[in-house]
Amino acid sequence: MLDQKFLDYLEKNYGITFNNKKLIERAMTHSSFDNEHKELGIGNYERLEFLGDAVLEINISRYLFEKYPQLPEGKLTRLRSDIVRTDSFAKFAKQIQIDKYLLIGKGEEKQGARQRHTLLEDIFEAFNGALYLDQGNEAVEEFLESVVYPHIDSGEFSEDTDFKTHLQEKLQQSGEVEIDYKVIDEEGPDHDKKFEIELIVNDKILSKGFGYSKKHAEQMAAKQALEEL
Amino acid sequence: MLDQKFLDYLEKNYGITFNNKKLIERAMTHSSFDNEHKELGIGNYERLEFLGDAVLEINISRYLFEKYPQLPEGKLTRLRSDIVRTDSFAKFAKQIQIDKYLLIGKGEEKQGARQRHTLLEDIFEAFNGALYLDQGNEAVEEFLESVVYPHIDSGEFSEDTDFKTHLQEKLQQSGEVEIDYKVIDEEGPDHDKKFEIELIVNDKILSKGFGYSKKHAEQMAAKQALEEL
């Protein structure tokens, strides 16, 4: 019952092909749909959500631990809880079109469950649980590298990861400066665009940055400049 | 400054030899000790605790997910939160002698921090974080198999894992029965004892169980009997 288009979408955009199709189908299915279609024997996402919750937690924790060696435990914990949050996970779920393809019963559909953030969060977790069982943690790492980590690197979750602000503060310590970020290249298809940005300070090119969005590329340029200062 | 005896203890009892001794030393060190001995440059356990918390969560989650395929998500979540709890982790910390060898400052020592459950929990998490970084998740799995999972299998955390009670209820459905658990063998040194138990119902041997404690072996015998009934 899971739309083949979703499987094609995952393959095309993230290089993910599930060996066990029943697993990804279960991850995408709410109990209300399962109850209406008992004859299909799909089950629902709930146990996979239990596992996926922990899968996301360890991967995001390890990423933060390694990426921000300067951050003390308290800031890491705050940052993690800003990422591992209903609204963030719901956003990631939409990013991979879970909202479009998830399976819910008719009553739930009428009540607008398809857009409910807690449901999208649950299924995003279940999706990662299914991927983990199907292909191991490396596949999850790769997936998160393209869907979640760029948002962290872009400084969306905490001022501690906001390199642009850090750089500005640092540069302005010795007086006013003019900081400019300029897109110099943009390539790839819509779903996999890459941007290249030049960071220009007082008319001098200071660094370059690549990223999945303009903001991401700007942050990467600022990060590199900070490392070189 | 970490006592070599602790490293010897880990090697002898759990086959764990840290490649990076600084990592396990840091995991065992409270900030109060680090502050009193800045010249040693040890650091403290806090960042490792951040990581270890998630390492324990994923391993215990996966263990529960696979071991109890019949449990729904709600029960799995309750069971996990009963295990991933201050008092449980403090008990595991003592089991591997963390309380004996952790490094704390003089003031904290006077205030009895060495026996404080929240500190023991933190260091147990940091220990697992260090092991994960030093030797990967497989080493953590092996460690938990000998220190944590037997307690889960013994039914200590939830009636859902209490096979003895389940078996008793099942057997008594068709009238009164006499259930007896008898130790038939006991071997190994004190720190690595194994027990063998016979489960006898109405004078007939129903199953056998092996375990790290009498209770563990009894639960294993009950589990086997349940599977065969």
3-class SS of residue A110: helix
**How many contacts, defined by CB atoms under 8 Å, are there between A and B?**
55
Q: How high is the ipTM of this complex?
A: 0.75
CA-nearest residue to A51 within chain B is B61
Nearest by CB: A51 against B50, B61, B137: B61
Contact A24, A127 (CB under 8 A): yes
Contact B40, B1 (CB under 8 A): yes
Contact B143, B14 (CB under 8 A): yes
- Using alpha carbons, list the distances in angstroms from residue B20 to B6, B26, B97: 14, 10, 20
Q: For residue A198, indicate whether it is catalytic.
A: no
In sequence order, the β-bridge partners of residue A209 are A197
Side by side, the strands of the sheet bearing A179-187 are A179-187, A194-201, A204-211
Strand pairing class (A204-211; A194-201): antiparallel
| pLDDT mean across residues, chain A | 92
Query: Among the options A125, A134, A153, A160, which is catalytic?
Result: A125
> Domains of chain A (ranges plus CATH)?
4-154 (1.10.1520.10), 162-228 (3.30.160.20)
Helices (H), ranges, B68-211: 73-83, 86-95, 98-101, 106-110, 117-135, 137-147, 149-153, 163-172
Count of beta carbons in the 10 Å neighbourhood of residue A200: 16
What pLDDT does residue B7 have?
98
Q: What is the pLDDT of residues A165-214, one digit of tens each?
A: 888 888 888 788 889 999 999 988 776 778 899 999 998 999 999 888 88
Q: Which residues of A touch B (CB under 8 A)?
A: 46-47, 49-51, 53-55, 57-58, 60-62, 65, 72-74, 76-77, 80, 137
With a CB cutoff of 8 Å and minimum separation 6, the contacts of A69 are none
CA A28 to chain centre: 18
| % of chain A residues with pLDDT over 90 | 70
What pLDDT does residue B10 have?
97
Contact A27, A6 (CB under 8 A): no
Query: Among the options A34, A53, A121, A160, which is catalytic?
Result: A53
Q: For residue B176, indicate whether it is catalytic.
A: no
How far apart are the C-alpha atoms of A203 and A213, rounded to whole Å? Answer: 24
How far apart are the C-alpha atoms of A68 and A46, rounded to whole Å? Answer: 33
**Probe site for chain B from A26, A46, A50, A60 (most B CB atoms < 10 A):** A50
What pLDDT does residue B134 have?
98
Q: What is the pLDDT of residues B155-202, one digit of tens each?
A: 888 766 678 888 888 888 878 889 999 999 998 877 677 889 999 999
How far apart are the C-alpha atoms of B145 and B17, rounded to whole Å? Answer: 17
Q: What is the pLDDT of residues A85-117, one digit of tens each?
A: 898 999 999 999 999 999 999 999 999 999 999
